[in-house]
Protein backbone atom coordinates (compact mmCIF):
# COMPACT_ATOMS: atom_id res chain seq x y z
CA UNK A 1 0.00 0.00 0.00
CA UNK A 2 1.36 3.37 -0.99
CA UNK A 3 0.67 6.70 0.64
CA UNK A 4 3.06 8.88 -1.34
CA UNK A 5 5.09 7.14 -4.06
CA UNK A 6 2.91 7.16 -7.13
CA UNK A 7 5.63 5.84 -9.49
CA UNK A 8 5.99 2.65 -7.47
CA UNK A 9 2.22 2.22 -7.33
CA UNK A 10 1.90 2.68 -11.10
CA UNK A 11 4.68 0.15 -11.68
CA UNK A 12 2.89 -2.40 -9.50
CA UNK A 13 -0.41 -1.74 -11.29
CA UNK A 14 1.25 -2.28 -14.68
CA UNK A 15 2.94 -5.48 -13.46
CA UNK A 16 -0.35 -6.69 -11.99
CA UNK A 17 1.12 -7.21 -8.54
CA UNK A 18 -1.53 -5.15 -6.74
CA UNK A 19 -3.85 -7.63 -5.05
CA UNK A 20 -7.63 -7.45 -4.82
CA UNK A 21 -7.26 -6.81 -1.09
CA UNK A 22 -5.07 -3.78 -1.88
CA UNK A 23 -7.62 -2.45 -4.38
CA UNK A 24 -10.40 -2.80 -1.78
CA UNK A 25 -8.26 -0.92 0.73
CA UNK A 26 -7.50 1.84 -1.79
CA UNK A 27 -11.20 2.09 -2.66
CA UNK A 28 -12.24 2.23 1.00
CA UNK A 29 -9.65 4.86 1.92
CA UNK A 30 -10.33 6.94 -1.20
CA UNK A 31 -14.08 6.92 -0.59
CA UNK A 32 -13.67 7.68 3.12
CA UNK A 33 -11.42 10.66 2.44
CA UNK A 34 -13.54 11.89 -0.46
CA UNK A 35 -16.75 11.55 1.59
CA UNK A 36 -15.14 13.35 4.55
CA UNK A 37 -14.30 16.26 2.27
CA UNK A 38 -17.80 16.14 0.77
CA UNK A 39 -19.49 16.11 4.21
CA UNK A 40 -17.34 19.06 5.28
CA UNK A 41 -18.54 20.95 2.20
CA UNK A 42 -22.18 20.02 2.93
CA UNK A 43 -21.86 21.21 6.54
CA UNK A 44 -20.51 24.56 5.37
CA UNK A 45 -22.94 24.93 2.47
CA UNK A 46 -25.20 27.45 4.22
CA UNK A 47 -22.43 29.68 5.51
CA UNK A 48 -19.86 29.59 2.71
CA UNK A 49 -21.42 28.32 -0.48
CA UNK A 50 -24.19 29.57 -2.67
CA UNK A 51 -26.03 27.52 -5.26
CA UNK A 52 -23.72 28.62 -8.09
CA UNK A 53 -20.68 27.36 -6.18
CA UNK A 54 -22.38 24.00 -5.53
CA UNK A 55 -23.27 23.61 -9.22
CA UNK A 56 -19.71 24.57 -10.20
CA UNK A 57 -18.30 22.03 -7.74
CA UNK A 58 -20.49 19.25 -9.16
CA UNK A 59 -19.51 20.20 -12.73
CA UNK A 60 -15.80 20.16 -11.82
CA UNK A 61 -16.16 16.70 -10.27
CA UNK A 62 -18.10 15.23 -13.19
CA UNK A 63 -15.77 16.71 -15.81
CA UNK A 64 -12.70 15.66 -13.81
CA UNK A 65 -13.82 12.03 -13.58
CA UNK A 66 -14.85 12.08 -17.25
CA UNK A 67 -11.43 13.46 -18.19
CA UNK A 68 -9.68 10.71 -16.24
CA UNK A 69 -11.92 8.06 -17.84
CA UNK A 70 -11.36 9.44 -21.33
CA UNK A 71 -7.58 9.32 -20.82
CA UNK A 72 -7.66 5.79 -19.45
CA UNK A 73 -6.21 3.15 -21.74
CA UNK A 74 -7.58 0.45 -19.42
CA UNK A 75 -11.27 1.37 -19.34
CA UNK A 76 -12.30 -2.03 -17.94
CA UNK A 77 -10.05 -1.37 -14.92
CA UNK A 78 -10.86 2.33 -14.57
CA UNK A 79 -12.42 2.14 -11.09
CA UNK A 80 -9.42 0.24 -9.72
CA UNK A 81 -6.95 2.59 -11.39
CA UNK A 82 -8.83 5.74 -10.43
CA UNK A 83 -9.26 4.87 -6.77
CA UNK A 84 -5.70 3.64 -6.22
CA UNK A 85 -4.01 6.49 -8.11
CA UNK A 86 -6.65 8.92 -6.81
CA UNK A 87 -5.99 7.92 -3.18
CA UNK A 88 -2.26 8.55 -3.41
CA UNK A 89 -2.68 11.74 -5.38
CA UNK A 90 -5.51 13.07 -3.19
CA UNK A 91 -3.40 12.49 -0.09
CA UNK A 92 -0.42 14.26 -1.65
CA UNK A 93 -2.60 17.12 -2.90
CA UNK A 94 -4.18 17.67 0.50
CA UNK A 95 -0.74 18.03 2.00
CA UNK A 96 0.37 20.62 -0.57
CA UNK A 97 -3.00 22.38 -0.54
CA UNK A 98 -2.78 22.73 3.25
CA UNK A 99 0.68 24.26 2.95
CA UNK A 100 -0.57 26.57 0.19
CA UNK A 101 -3.59 27.70 2.22
CA UNK A 102 -1.45 28.25 5.31
CA UNK A 103 1.01 30.26 3.22
CA UNK A 104 -1.83 32.33 1.74
CA UNK A 105 -3.24 33.01 5.21
CA UNK A 106 0.15 34.01 6.68
CA UNK A 107 1.08 36.23 3.72
CA UNK A 108 -2.26 38.05 3.70
CA UNK A 109 -2.05 38.55 7.47
CA UNK A 110 1.54 39.84 7.36
CA UNK A 111 0.78 42.38 4.67
CA UNK A 112 -2.52 43.53 6.15
CA UNK A 113 -4.63 42.04 3.39
CA UNK A 114 -6.82 39.89 5.64
CA UNK A 115 -9.91 40.64 3.57
CA UNK A 116 -8.35 38.71 0.66
CA UNK A 117 -8.34 35.52 2.74
CA UNK A 118 -12.09 35.12 2.81
CA UNK A 119 -13.91 31.81 2.89
CA UNK A 120 -15.13 32.27 -0.69
CA UNK A 121 -11.59 32.94 -1.94
CA UNK A 122 -10.38 29.85 -0.09
CA UNK A 123 -13.10 27.80 -1.81
CA UNK A 124 -12.09 29.18 -5.21
CA UNK A 125 -8.46 28.27 -4.54
CA UNK A 126 -9.59 24.80 -3.44
CA UNK A 127 -11.56 24.41 -6.69
CA UNK A 128 -8.45 25.32 -8.68
CA UNK A 129 -6.51 22.69 -6.73
CA UNK A 130 -9.29 20.20 -7.49
CA UNK A 131 -9.07 20.91 -11.23
CA UNK A 132 -5.31 20.32 -11.03
CA UNK A 133 -5.95 17.16 -9.02
CA UNK A 134 -8.21 15.66 -11.69
CA UNK A 135 -5.79 16.71 -14.44
CA UNK A 136 -2.89 14.96 -12.72
CA UNK A 137 -4.94 11.83 -11.90
CA UNK A 138 -5.97 11.70 -15.56
CA UNK A 139 -2.35 12.06 -16.64
CA UNK A 140 -1.20 9.28 -14.34
CA UNK A 141 -4.03 7.00 -15.43
CA UNK A 142 -3.15 7.69 -19.08
CA UNK A 143 0.37 6.43 -18.44
CA UNK A 144 -0.95 3.05 -17.25
CA UNK A 145 -0.79 0.59 -20.12
CA UNK A 146 -2.24 -2.90 -20.20
pLDDT at residue 118 is higher than 70 = no
Per-residue model confidence as pLDDT tens digits over 26-46: 888 888 887 887 777 666 666
> How many other CB atoms sit within 10 Å of the CB of residue 9?
23
The answer to whether the beta carbons of residues 54 and 45 sit under 8 Å apart is yes
Contacts of 23 (CB under 8 A, 6+ apart): 80, 83, 84
Instruction: State residue 63's pLDDT score.
Output: 93
Cα(140)–Cα(135) distance, integer angstroms: 9
Question: What's the whole-model pTM score?
Answer: 0.75
Band of pLDDT at residue 84, cut at 50, 70 and 90: confident
What's the mean pLDDT when you consider all of the chain?
80
pLDDT at residue 124 is higher than 80 = no
Amino acid sequence: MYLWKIKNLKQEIIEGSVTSKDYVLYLTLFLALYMALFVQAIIQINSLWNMEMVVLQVIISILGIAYAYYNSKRKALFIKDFTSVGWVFLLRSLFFMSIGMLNLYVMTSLFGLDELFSAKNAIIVAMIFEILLYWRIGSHIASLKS
